[in-house]
Amino acid sequence: GGRPLVLGIESSCDETGVGIVRGTQLLTNTVSSSMEEHVRFGGVIPEIASRAHLDAFVPTLREALAEAGVTLDEIDAIAVTSGPGLAGALMVGVCAAKALAVATGKPLYAINHLVAHVGVGLLRTDDGGPQEIGPQGNTLPDNLGALLVSGGHTEILRIRNITGDVELLGSTIDDAAGEAYDKVARLLGLGYPGGPAIDRLARAGNAKAIRFPRGLSQPKYMGTADEPGPHRYDWSFSGLKTAVARCVEQFEARGEPVPVADVAAAFQEAVVDIITSKAVLACRENGITELLLGGGVAANSRLRQLTEQRCSAAGIRLTVPPLALCTDNGAMVAALGAQLVMAGIAPSGIAFAPDSSMP
Ligand code: KG4
Ligand code: ZN
């Protein structure tokens, strides 16, 4: 009985995260990032990330336990991201979690990073974060959907059961939204990581100064509700990236300064407009009335704003996690782990291997 105390470990990319939850209550979310070590390379270098996880894991674990005011003895279960992500980076977190599980005799749960990005929406936080959805335990509302927008994925999902039964309604057919942000930021000379840089710069720009294309929005792709086209709920961001590159080239060819703030704002508007319009359409046509927003790009201010507006207009109840729970962290892993424990699902044991390309 009681709500399980679960420790979550995340190491799939450049963030070493340890989070602790009690049931659906967030106790602590401790994150150490190696991003600064990757900035000069313009992207995350796997080998550097793996070594940084090795250095950061024990201090991050100690800090999390101290902050939550709990000991390892009191923990009921350990959860760890087993994929998808960088193979070497995942290996560090998985080995650390297995060692902890063996040393303490606690059950260990292997967690899908992407489902955790969505499952974090089930957490209650004390800082005005998401409200609790549904009663405690594994009972979720009917008609629950999730919009997952990260560096590697852009997907609209129906969640029948967060512990495994997830149906893909639509996804990107090329770049992920975060990838598009990062590539366009590089094009505009904004450095890495690009998402936050574009988000900031776009505030100073005029989104209507330039009109960039909305991928897969033509009737031949959309079809109608009765006769859906081949990509009604899908996205494409590679054409948008090319359009931004052409636009920049044209300014340069004319010897004019590139209005980077306007380009950033117009690019962001195109991404956010098509993500939210297709997501809301998919919800309406599939009877989804509750939506969880998750993934690194869910930290984007314009995406948060427009998703809220459009969901509210469509009568969809939206849960948007606080910023710190959108980017990679251990609390989301603990949150999903707690759902598995509460659903009575058997632990994974310690024989599983990390899977860098887990679907
Ligand atoms: O979920 P995440 O932390 O890592 C993956 O699992 O992929 O997402 C990282 C992505 C990066 O592409 C980053 O540029 C983007 O999320 N991102 C943002 C913002 N913050 C992070 N994109 C747009 N606006 C932001 N504020
Ligand atoms: Zn992530």
Domain map of the chain by residue range?
A: 5-130+324-342, 168-319
Look at residues 236, 337, 229, 212 and name the one whose alpha carbon lies nearest to residue 285: 229
**Is-cis flag, bond preceding 193, omega within 30?**
yes
How does residue 163 score in pLDDT terms, banded at 50, 70 and 90? confident
Query: Is 152 known as a binding-site position?
Result: yes
pLDDT recorded at residue 126? 60
Per-residue pLDDT of 251-265, as tens digits, reads: 999 999 999 999 999
Ligand 1: residue whose CA is nearest its atom 4: 151
CA of 202 to the centre of ligand 1 (A): 16
211, pLDDT greater than 90: yes
Alpha-carbon span 344 to 122, nearest angstrom: 17
pLDDT recorded at residue 138? 43
136, pLDDT greater than 70: no
CA of 35 to the centre of ligand 1 (A): 12
Select the more confidently predicted residue: 161 or 19: 19
Per-residue pLDDT of 329-351, as tens digits, reads: 999 999 999 999 998 999 999 99
CA of 300 to the centre of ligand 1 (A): 8
Atom of ligand 1 nearest to the CA of 117: 1
Query: Is 151 known as a binding-site position?
Result: yes
Query: Is 19 known as a binding-site position?
Result: no
How does residue 197 score in pLDDT terms, banded at 50, 70 and 90? very high
125, pLDDT greater than 90: no
pLDDT recorded at residue 162? 79
62, pLDDT greater than 70: yes
Query: Is 121 known as a binding-site position?
Result: no
137, pLDDT greater than 70: no
HSE-up of 73 (CA within 13 Å, CB side)? 1
pLDDT recorded at residue 60? 98
Atom of ligand 1 nearest to the CA of 178: 12
Please classify residue 127 by burial: count the beta carbons closer than 10 Å to its beta carbon, then call 0-12 exposed, 13-18 middle and 19+ buried. Answer: exposed
CA of 325 to the centre of ligand 2 (A): 10
pLDDT, mean of residues 214-223: 97
Find out whether 321 and 294 touch, Cβ atoms under 8 Å: yes
Q: What's 168-319's CATH class?
A: alpha beta
Cβ contacts of residue 242 below 8 Å, gap of 6+?
A: none
248, pLDDT greater than 50: yes
**Among all ligands shown, which has an atom nearest to the Cα of 152?**
1
Residue to mutate, 114, 190, 297, ligand 1, most ligand atoms under 8 Å from C-beta: 297
Amino acid letter at 199? Answer: D
Atom of ligand 1 nearest to the CA of 301: 26
pLDDT recorded at residue 140? 66
Alpha-carbon span 180 to 245, nearest angstrom: 12
123, pLDDT greater than 90: no
306, pLDDT greater than 70: yes
Per-residue pLDDT of 13-29, as tens digits, reads: 999 999 999 999 999 99
CATH superfamily, domain at 5-130+324-342: ATPase, nucleotide binding domain (3.30.420.40)
Query: Is 105 known as a binding-site position?
Result: no
149 forms beta bridges with 154
CA of 297 to the centre of ligand 1 (A): 4
Amino acid letter at 259? Answer: P
CA of 351 to the centre of ligand 2 (A): 24
Q: Residue 303 is encoded by which pair of tokens?
A: 């995406």
User: In CATH terms, are 5-130+324-342 and 168-319 the same topology?
Assistant: yes
Question: Ligand 1 pocket by C-beta < 6 Å: which residues?
Answer: 13, 150-152, 178, 181-182, 193-196, 199, 295-297, 299-300, 327-328
